Amino acid sequence: MYRLDRQLRFEDFVFPYGKLDRENEWVKIADIMPWDRIEDIYAKKFVNNGHPAHPARMVLGSLIIKQRLRCSDEQVIQHISENPYMQFFIGLKEFTSHCPFGESTMVISGM
């Protein structure tokens, strides 16, 4: 299970291979994003149908990664799996070698 935290701070991210660099672009972008406000707006779009949605930070963060890198859904999954800064950016609390979702999750329907 992946640990997510709405109030994730830079200091809270667990990376077993040292410390993350606060000057990294993904850390800087994460710091200026109004994640709580985004989550509140995002949560209003869903009803309780038994299948919980991924957190807004994970969803929007993944789309931002895709757009900034100009890459495919498959490449987003690969980048997130390999990059602790991107994992921090999408709200994971600690580094993992796996992306918390698959490429089929990247498909936006109904828009």
Identify the band that residue 15 occupies on the pLDDT scale cut at 50, 70 and 90.
confident
Distance CA 60, CA 53 (A): 12
Q: Is the pLDDT of residue 111 over 50?
A: no
Most confident stretch, 1-5, 97-101, 105-109: 97-101
Number of other residues whose CB lies within 10 A of the CB of residue 28: 11
Number of other residues whose CB lies within 10 A of the CB of residue 58: 22
pLDDT recorded at residue 34: 96
